[in-house]
Amino acid sequence: MKKVLVISSSLRKNSNSEWLAVSFAEGAKSAGNEVEIISLRDKEIKFCIGCLACQKTQRCFMHDDADVIREKMLHADVLVFATPIYYYEISGILKTMLDRANPLYSSDYQFHEIYALATAAEDESHVPEKTFSGIEGWVDCFEKAKLVGTLFCGGVTAPGEINDNVKLKEAYEMGRNI
């Protein structure tokens, strides 16, 4: 059994990327894993100011919802980031959370496997490249971790438009096979 933390970063309720996150989580639960989904939608997460004090203290001097999320990230075996794609990049709130996870860099983090799920209105194959590259850039800073899977669903715009899309089954199977 693995501890799986799914972080959904869309600020819209019933968003397409959140549907992917839930489907992945259901697959992981069906395989007997302990799964938690955190939505960043209603969280207060301040911007990192780059002071790097956290590299010595392993905590941020700012206190907000990032504290609890970062602690859950520290103890998860598997991290899953679900994001809508805006201007070919991850959502702003996910980028902010990843920046605020900087104290993990010098910690004894538990995660080794990382997955990235993304949705966008555009459906060309190149659309998720920068999104997944940005997440992989974060992962590359953690020598014990690896980006082991990505899933992109393009051509979905309105909230819930992904319903009945084959990508939901793919997300479920990806979660089930971790």
Q: How far apart are the first and last CA of the chain?
A: 10
Per-residue model confidence (pLDDT) at position 157:
94
Give the pLDDT band of residue 49 (cuts 50, 70, 90). very high
| Average of per-residue pLDDT across 162-171 | 96
Per-residue model confidence (pLDDT) at position 19:
98
Per-residue model confidence (pLDDT) at position 146:
98
Distances (CA, A) of 121 to 15, 29, 105, 124: 12, 29, 33, 10
Domain extents in the chain: 9-176
Give the pLDDT band of residue 87 (cuts 50, 70, 90). very high
Token couple for 77: 């075996």
DSSP code string of 57-110: HSS-SS-SHHHHHHHHHHH-SEEEEEEE-BTTB--HHHHHHHHHTGGGGGS---
Q: For the domain 9-176, what is the CATH code?
A: 3.40.50.360
